[in-house]
Structure 1
Amino acid sequence: MQQETYDFIVTGAGSAGAVVASRLSESGRHSVLLLEAGPPDTNPWIHIPLGFAKTFIDPRVNWKFESAPQPTLDNRRLYLPRGKTLGGTSSINGMVYIRGNHADYDEWRQRGCTGWDWDSVLPYFRKAQNQARGDSEYHGTGGPLNVSDQPRRFELTDAVLAACEQAGVPRNPDFNGAMQEGCGYYQTTTSNRRRWSTAKAYLDPARSRPNLTIRTGAHATRVILSDGRATGVEYACLEGRRIAAARREVVVSGGTYGSPQLLQLSGLGPAEHLRDMGIDVVRDMPAVGSNLHDHFNTYMSWRCTRSITLNDLENSWPRKIAAGIRYSLFRSGPMASNGIHAGLFTRSDPRLERPDLQINLLEWSTLERTRDRVISHRFPGFTLSPVHLKPDGRGTVRLASPDPLAPPSILFDFLRTDYDMRAVVTGIRLVRTIAEQPALRPYIAAEIAPGPATQSDADMEAFVRQTGVSNHHPSSTCAMGTGTNAVVDPRLRVHGVGGLRVADASIMPSVVAGNTNAPSIMIGEKAAAMILEDVAA
């Protein structure tokens, strides 16, 4: 094996890893190797806002994971798209910019994660951001990450938001400001009507730095551990297996599924499981790959009376051609937006202190949505998607094989408690209330899913078990904390191992109440700052 040496090695160029590598190399004083298993982000669909409908099932840029059969969901396997390219999932996601609730971070602090309360993380959200609305108490300008308003207003979106207000949900002009609850338009990680992934935001400006090496097609297979310290990384590439040595630290940023998998392959994880896989146990760490926490999602769809949905684009070649021309020439038209224009945050029970439901408007409806294909209805349609933000259930990520190139085994624990099911059913009933309001009634021809025959709690619960899915916001498999149920400490150092940190959504003690891309970028910013502080100390 060939060997090379760097100050820092970062495994994974995703939402957090790209940030860490860019910031560590910024001063020019430290040499950094960034390993990414996927290809460069040259796929043209990555950069078109509506292109995420294509990358959602594209194996060239998507790991296309599947869960193990889910006992509480009629033993179905859930499709789990994850980015496999520079920028990671920030290159294939829906681009919605949401930070979560302020109380999420204060709760982290209450669990012993010093320095992760809302007041402590806000500066890193602001540091990352270049907010189109300008600088304010909650938003920053001049940062690498462009955050923009929707390119225009949309007829169906305005009708849904008016219906929300009629149903008693107040307007909220900024979900990332003083309060989260309410309904409104989403902001997105876009710039000039192009996707603004962490590859665009952080890696493109850094590519010319002589101290930063970005290696694609390089799959990290093992962290090399010697005398209780991480000393390097073994990785697979076209040329075979290579070893890179780290003078200072290895930063694992493989995401909620990839990071625990790499640690387990390296001998850090539940001892019995590692032995079953034939892997030498370096340190028995039961929390590695445990505590998987994700949002649970259902899709409710309606046939629309007007040809103003993205179904109408998908089902018409003349419209597709016209949309392509408009976007190519003017960066306008349906391809210039993400199709997820608005949503709302609310509580399933008024006694709760903060929102536990998010309802997204998707300006399309689907007949089939799997890991292999997405088929729109042949008529105009739209979807309102109730998402449970605070499930009680916690799952696991384990090795399915000692082969480092094999996908991990992923098991959720959705609908663990009565509360989990009640919250989802409450979301379904609220969505129906919104659909019945005068502002939206003219746009609805019929309810498609679950359909008007589904009325009782028992029928709704059956619908949830038959159709509910992950909302693709996994977290917490390398959870931060101070006890035995944690993998990293509040400075993201792996407990009991020197020179090794984890920086991505897997370190969240619990999933935040909202989309996880913006918090992952914040984690990358804060991780890099802490690493540089520790190096200088």
Structure 2
Amino acid sequence: MDFSACLAIILVSAFFLSVHAIPLPCGNATESLYSMYDYIIVGGGVAGLVVGNRLSENSSVTVLVLEAGEFDNSEERVTVPGFVGQGYNPAYDWNITTAPQQFLDNNSRFYCQGHVVGGSSILNGLVTTRGSSADYDAWATLGNPGWSWRDLLPYFIKSENFTANIGPDTASALHIQPEISKHGLSGPLQVGYPRFFYNQSRNFLQGLSELDIPILDDPNAGVSARGMIAPSSISAGNQSRMDSRRAYLDGVLNRPNLHFASGQTVTRILIRTASNHPVPPFGYIKRAYGVENVTCTREVVLAAGAIFSPALLQVSGIGPAPILRELNVTMQVDLPGVGQNLQDHAMVGAFYDYTIPGLFSTRNLTGDVLQSAQEEYRTNRTGPLTAPLISAVAFPSLRSLVSNWSSVIETFNSTTPEQYLPPGTGRHPHLVAGFTQQRSLLLQLLSRYDVGALEILADSIGTLTAAIQRPFSRGSVRALSADLLANNTTLTSNIRLDPRYCANPTDCSILLAGLRFNTRLVNTTGMQQLLPSPSPPWDAATSQNDTALIEVIHRNLVTEFHPCGTTAMLPFELGGVVDPRLVVYGTNNLRVVDAGIMPIIPAAHLQAAVYAVAEKVSFYFSLPKDIPV
């Protein structure tokens, strides 16, 4: 599984300003903190560190980055790809739980999000997929000029330092033949392949081919509705995790104009009126001038992630008017979309233990075998510990999942757009209008043979996880108190996260089709060579019973940790929160730069897209405000 590359939220307190220097790793320390900066960035995860790096390239401006978490200790549970999924320091996680999921089993879900410098890039599963060109062309179609695949590709390239570090025999067997022209060779983020692949990956690809699912030579060249071996965010040289901290921060901490402070949690953006004349429909335009006790002359950049950024906007007076009244905060801008349009990739694991004698898998990494693998990794940077939990994935189209795909589309199209939106503020006319256009695009995408509807993730022991990629359900995020640290509780206690999984039954229907697809997959010749043995509830009877499978989905559905959409880049009248420059509507200098701006979730792991979004918006900072994007 993959933990989304999302970003943490942070606060500056009066005590913070009394400190004369902020300690940083490796003996580095910032200079004394100023009371005023040109730019303040709230969040030191993927997007925040990219923007901080790029802004501070201009030595004439001062930049402050604030992060709630601390630096990780570079322990092997973080850095070694083979240990992904085997636990991490609890201090690196916000330990969020969702609201009870009423459309599943009324239970909450655990929701990992990075509470550490580097955000969720410290915790994720390393899988690096961009999605299809159609994903980003849909963003542009929704009223966002400059955000198509063609527009974003240069920034995918700019962020990446790609290495096709695969021998010819392995490359041929696993269909790894990258289009180098679509990759960056000198960016900060190293992307490559492990020096070890489990043999089960070949069986998986062979099984997909038997089901007429083509295998991609390069999953990041604009087409994704195929099977693939995905590259990873790892250093090709030392075969360790490459996260946003190591890619974008560690090498620039000595810049005198860049100050970084960890362990700081922002709870409010300071906002004042910037104009003397009202501008319909926003009233008087607002200007962000800082956070608690630190002011800025140019911009505040929210990079706190799709959960925390909208909550921070709400307690600062920007959001749906009914919520602001309930919070008893002064309304600065009535933006119905703040905290709405939440999307995520929900997933269900199916378990088919591979029982062929002599098969090597992650289950063998215990005792003396693990010790030997550790010695090999530490000495040579080779062996099974270079392999992440997941490399073999597929994004089958709806046409590949069900034979009656056209009638399925018609069934989906028969409901009214607002029927499954969150009640109350979630059905504001602007949000209904926005979702109507989103749904139309989703139906078009699902009709295509070259666009994935579902993801199948295959590990080495026989887990085939199905993850919905184009959800029709929409959830919400909202602050529960004007003081996000009220009653001496944690910040997450005062934020309600409700993904509303399967609120639209379309999503569970596609997951059902995915589980049926897994049954066909394990019965192919390629997969049968592994002697898969279904583990309950994946026995033959359950696998053929739709009612039983839906119950399994309701009990076992969890998140792929990819929240987005809660500060959507859409026209205001479609429920948008930010414009195509990612400036919050009704303000002239407050931007959001994280996964929350994604109007429709891509069929991909989100970290590559977040890097590209942050690289692209960093270019906008250098443009005069009247230059079109």
- TM-score, scaled relative to structure 1: 0.91
Matched with 1:366 is none
Deviation, 1:260, is 0.7
Matching residue's letter, 1:276 = E
Cα gap change, 1:181 to 1:244, in 2 (>3 Å): same
* 3-state SS, counterpart of residue 266 of structure 2: strand
Deviations 1:193-252 (A, max 9, x none): 111111111111211111101110011111111112100012xxxxxxxx2111100000
Which of 101, 108, 115 is 1:84 aligned to?
115
Comparing 39-48 and 61-70, the one that deviates more: 39-48
* 3-state SS, counterpart of residue 50 of structure 1: helix
Which of 276, 284, 291 is 1:233 aligned to?
291
Structure 2, unpaired ranges of 5+: 1-13, 18-33, 165-177, 274-285, 400-404, 407-446, 486-490
**Partners of 2:179 and 2:291 in 1: how far apart?**
40
Matching residue's letter, 1:157 = S
Identity %: 32
Cα gap change, 1:148 to 1:264, in 2 (>3 Å): same
Whether the aligned pair in 2 keeps the contact of 1:296 and 1:471 (CA below 8 Å) is yes
Whether the aligned pair in 1 keeps the contact of 2:327 and 2:481 (CA below 8 Å) is yes
Deviations 1:57-92 (A, max 9, x none): x32111121100000111121111111111111111
Whether the aligned pair in 2 keeps the contact of 1:55 and 1:62 (CA below 8 Å) is no
Structure that is richer in helix per residue: 2
Matched with 2:194 is 150
Deviation, 1:99, is 0.8
* 3-state SS, counterpart of residue 245 of structure 1: strand
* 3-state SS, counterpart of residue 223 of structure 2: coil
Deviations 1:258-317 (A, max 9, x none): 11111112111122223323333222222111000111211011222145221332xx33
Matching residue's letter, 1:10 = I
Deviation, 1:521, is 0.5
Whether the aligned pair in 2 keeps the contact of 1:55 and 1:92 (CA below 8 Å) is no
**Partners of 1:11 and 1:96 in 2: how far apart?**
26
Q: Do residues 361 (structure 1) and 413 (structure 2) align?
A: no
Deviation, 1:54, is 4.2
Matching residue's letter, 1:516 = L
Alignment of 1:298-377 (within 5 A): 298-305=348-355, 306=357, 307-313=359-365, 316-349=366-399, 352-353=447-448, 354-363=451-460
Matched with 1:104 is 135
Whether the aligned pair in 1 keeps the contact of 2:317 and 2:331 (CA below 8 Å) is yes
**Partners of 2:389 and 2:304 in 1: how far apart?**
28
Matching residue's letter, 1:222 = R
Deviations 1:96-125 (A, max 9, x none): 111111111111111111110111111111
Matched with 1:49 is 81
Whether the aligned pair in 1 keeps the contact of 2:82 and 2:389 (CA below 8 Å) is yes
Deviation, 1:445, is 4.4
Matching residue's letter, 1:416 = A
**Partners of 1:295 and 1:280 in 2: how far apart?**
35
Alignment of 1:241-320 (within 5 A): 243-305=293-355, 306=357, 307-313=359-365, 316-320=366-370
- TM-score, scaled relative to structure 2: 0.78
**Partners of 1:475 and 1:197 in 2: how far apart?**
20
Matched with 1:396 is 476
Matched with 1:528 is 618
Cα gap change, 1:445 to 1:499, in 2 (>3 Å): closer
Matched with 2:150 is 119
Whether the aligned pair in 1 keeps the contact of 2:131 and 2:223 (CA below 8 Å) is no
Aligned length: 509
Q: Do residues 163 (structure 1) and 213 (structure 2) align?
A: no
**Partners of 2:374 and 2:262 in 1: how far apart?**
30
Deviation, 1:8, is 0.4
**Partners of 1:135 and 1:162 in 2: how far apart?**
22
**Partners of 2:122 and 2:210 in 1: how far apart?**
36
Whether the aligned pair in 2 keeps the contact of 1:98 and 1:175 (CA below 8 Å) is yes
**Partners of 2:346 and 2:163 in 1: how far apart?**
31
Matched with 1:434 is 521
Which of 205, 221, 228 is 1:177 aligned to?
221
Cα gap change, 1:51 to 1:32, in 2 (>3 Å): farther
Matched with 1:198 is 244
Q: Which runs of 4+ in 1 moved over 6 A?
A: none
Q: Do residues 419 (structure 1) and 510 (structure 2) align?
A: no
* 3-state SS, counterpart of residue 622 of structure 2: helix
Alignment of 1:494-505 (within 5 A): 494-505=584-595
Whether the aligned pair in 2 keeps the contact of 1:148 and 1:189 (CA below 8 Å) is yes
Deviation, 1:49, is 1.5
Deviation, 1:469, is 1.4
Cα gap change, 1:444 to 1:402, in 2 (>3 Å): farther
Matched with 2:175 is none
Structure that is richer in strand per residue: 1
Which of 156, 159, 170 is 1:128 aligned to?
159
Give the root-mean-square deviation of aligned CA atoms: 1.8
Which of 127, 139, 143 is 2:183 aligned to?
139
Matched with 1:223 is 269
Matched with 1:488 is 578
Whether the aligned pair in 1 keeps the contact of 2:197 and 2:387 (CA below 8 Å) is no
Matching residue's letter, 1:62 = D
**Partners of 2:505 and 2:182 in 1: how far apart?**
36
Matched with 2:256 is 210
**Partners of 2:536 and 2:184 in 1: how far apart?**
41
Matched with 2:167 is none
Matching residue's letter, 1:360 = L
Comparing 17-26 and 257-266, the one that deviates more: 257-266
**Partners of 2:37 and 2:537 in 1: how far apart?**
55
Matching residue's letter, 1:356 = A
Deviation, 1:438, is 1.4
**Partners of 2:509 and 2:462 in 1: how far apart?**
24
Matching residue's letter, 1:216 = S
Cα gap change, 1:175 to 1:194, in 2 (>3 Å): same
**Partners of 1:483 and 1:536 in 2: how far apart?**
19
Whether the aligned pair in 2 keeps the contact of 1:150 and 1:185 (CA below 8 Å) is no
**Partners of 2:261 and 2:626 in 1: how far apart?**
27
Structure 1, unpaired ranges of 5+: 235-242, 364-380
For the pair shown, the structure with the greater C-alpha radius of gyration is: 2
Matching residue's letter, 1:467 = N
